[in-house]
Amino acid sequence: MAKNEEIVFGIHAINALLESAPERFIEMWLLKGRDDERLLPIINLARKYGIPAQMVQRRVLDDKSEGEQHQGVIARVKPGKVLTENDLDDIINATEKRDIAPFLLILDGVTDPHNLGACLRNADAAGVQAIIVPKDNAAKITATVRKVAVGAAESVPLVQVTNLSRTMKHLQQMGIWIVGTAGETDTCLYDVKLTGPMALVMGAEGKGMRRLTRENCDQLVKLPMGGSVSSLNVSVATGICLFEMVRQRLI
């Protein structure tokens, strides 16, 4: 595969990309003999947009997806635009024009593509307007991330920034309150006001947030843990925190 091309697989991921950016598709491969109600809309959209589509045996799809669950459909696409800190102000300003308080998620050092995909899915469900990640030492959008995100990779902007601490300071200057999760604090998530312009910071599993990231938070909170396990999977913890924020924003 050429450097300026990507592989996408999974029914939800391909459907979402077909609906948002059909012009990016180069070609598609579909499982031979499968034309059920889940794949038929994809086949019809491929015909509508003139995307070359081949019916192939399962082993061809297995090879192209490198063993990942492809759900009978794989596409070769042109890469989308990579968002950077230069795009962040536009995203926040567009949100404020709609009279909605900025609601952002910052992931510090989350390197597992399955966790990033699950966080994208959580963020989409909670109404988060963008996810911010450091450019280095963080998972990027890949075919696996798109598959796990079930379409959310197309609806939630992923912004890659060169310097996370500097970006956090910039957000604070824009009036956004930054709440980070850390096990060493005594403040419980449920005891803190989480309304208004807000960004939630989640650290990597095990290590948590880096020191500078932690120091740039306005508030640190923790989840109450009642069992023998000391921490949750980052995507699970992210979902809990985001929806506590949603609950408070709805009241």
Q: Is 175 annotated as a binding residue?
A: no
Confidence of residue 97 (pLDDT cuts 50, 70, 90): confident
- Ramachandran area for residue 199 (φ above 0: left; ψ -120 to 50: alpha; else beta): beta
Cα Rg of the chain, angstroms: 20
CATH topology of domain 6-77: 60s Ribosomal Protein L30; Chain: A; (3.30.1330)
Q: Is 232 annotated as a binding residue?
A: yes
Mean pLDDT across 89-112: 93
197 pLDDT above the threshold of 80: yes
Mean pLDDT across 209-238: 88
**CATH class of this structure's domain 83-250:** alpha beta
- Arithmetic mean of pLDDT over the chain: 91
φ and ψ at 122, to 5 degrees? Answer: -60, -45
> In which residue ranges of the chain is CATH 3.30.1330.30 found?
6-77
Q: Is 117 annotated as a binding residue?
A: no
Residue 40: per-residue pLDDT: 87
Mean pLDDT across 208-213: 91
Q: How far apart are CA 130 and CA 60, in angstroms?
A: 35
List the 219-221 sheet strands across, edge first: 83-84, 158-161, 130-134, 103-108, 198-203, 177-181, 219-221
Angle at Cα 9 formed by Cα 4 and Cα 14, nearest 5°? Answer: 90
Residue 183: per-residue pLDDT: 82
> In which residue ranges of the chain is CATH 3.40.1280.10 found?
83-250
What pTM was computed for the model? 0.91
2 pLDDT above the threshold of 70: no
Residue 5: per-residue pLDDT: 87
Mean pLDDT across 64-86: 90
